[in-house]
A and B are shown apart, each in its own frame.
Chain A
Amino acid sequence: QLQLQESGPGLVKPSETLSLTCTVSGGSISSSSYYWGWIRQPPGKGLEWIGSIYYSGSTYYNPSLKSRVTISVDTSKNQFSLKLSSVTAADTAVYYCARVKRIVDYWGQGTLVTVSS
């Protein structure tokens, strides 16, 4: 059974960079045909796709966040990571990592990241 687990700081200061890692177990991140993505959900609001990466390294970012987002993959560790720069309070959200192939079929449990000084 595939499992995804987010890790990273739960509190980030404004203007700094949010960094999260997703560890995949029960399957290889190098499986073809799948994207590995990040989705966030501000408190009380809906789901917002942040971006995705293919195992080969090809990336796809939400245009509204593209200038601040970097997603990378480490196949040797079966992990992929998110960096979101210049954060503000509007970036406070639960961040989910997920496996994506037209359907988001596996989700991490989510991690709350609060942006506050």
Chain B
Amino acid sequence: SYVLTQPPSVSVAPGKTARITCGGNNIGSKSVHWYQQKPGQAPVLVIYYDSDRPSGIPERFSGSNSGNTATLTISRVEAGDEADYYCQVWDSSSDHPVFGGGTKLIVL
């Protein structure tokens, strides 16, 4: 089964740029999706197909994917961005989503 590896936490000061990574074997050949989850809420899709943003998601959120690492970048971080972030790919061999372990974004 395909494994996605995320750092447990990333800390960033308000106004700075946060980068959350998602590692996987040749992940650059897959499409990566990112979800934001705030306490007590269901996850919300913030980036899909590596770098597309759903409507309503600020332009501050962007994504990239190459080689063995996909990255979610949040520019001009705000206190309201503090949340858990999960990356996800699709396992085509068995038709199911695979999630990373999640990264807690801490806004200092």
Let me know if A52 and B95 touch, CB within 8 A.
yes
Residue of A nearest to B6 (CB): A46
> What 1/0 flags go to B87-108 for Cβ under 8 Å of A?
0101000111111111000000
A105 in complex: contacting residue of B45, B99, B101, B102, CB < 8 Å: B45
Question: Is A116 located at the chain interface by the 8 A CB criterion?
Answer: no
A39 CA to B42 CA, complexed, in Å: 11
> What 1/0 flags go to B11-52 for Cβ under 8 Å of A?
000000000000000000001010100000111110011000
Chain B count of residues within 8 A CB distance of the other chain: 23
Question: Is A89 located at the chain interface by the 8 A CB criterion?
Answer: no
- A8-16, A25-33, A95-103: which one contacts chain B? A95-103
Chain A, interface SS category: strand
A104 in complex: contacting residue of B43, B49, B95, B102, CB < 8 Å: B43
Question: What B residues does A39 contact at CB under 8 A?
Answer: 97
Let me know if B42 and A47 touch, CB within 8 A.
no
Question: What B residues does A104 contact at CB under 8 A?
Answer: 33, 35, 43, 45, 88, 97
Chain A count of residues within 8 A CB distance of the other chain: 22
Question: What B residues does A35 contact at CB under 8 A?
Answer: 95
Question: What B residues does A37 contact at CB under 8 A?
Answer: 96-97
Let me know if A102 and B96 touch, CB within 8 A.
no
Beyond A102-B31, A103-B33, A104-B88, is A110–B99 a contact (Cβ under 8 Å)? Answer: no
Most chain B CB within 10 A, of A47, A62, A96, A108, is at: A47
Give 25 CB contacts A-B under 8 Å.
A35-B95, A37-B96, A39-B97, A46-B101, A46-B102, A47-B43, A47-B86, A48-B99, A49-B98, A49-B99, A52-B96, A60-B95, A62-B96, A63-B1, A96-B42, A96-B43, A100-B97, A102-B33, A102-B90, A103-B45, A104-B45, A104-B88, A107-B44, A108-B42, A109-B42
Residues of B within 8 A of A (CB): 1, 31, 33, 35, 41-45, 48-49, 86, 88, 90, 94-102
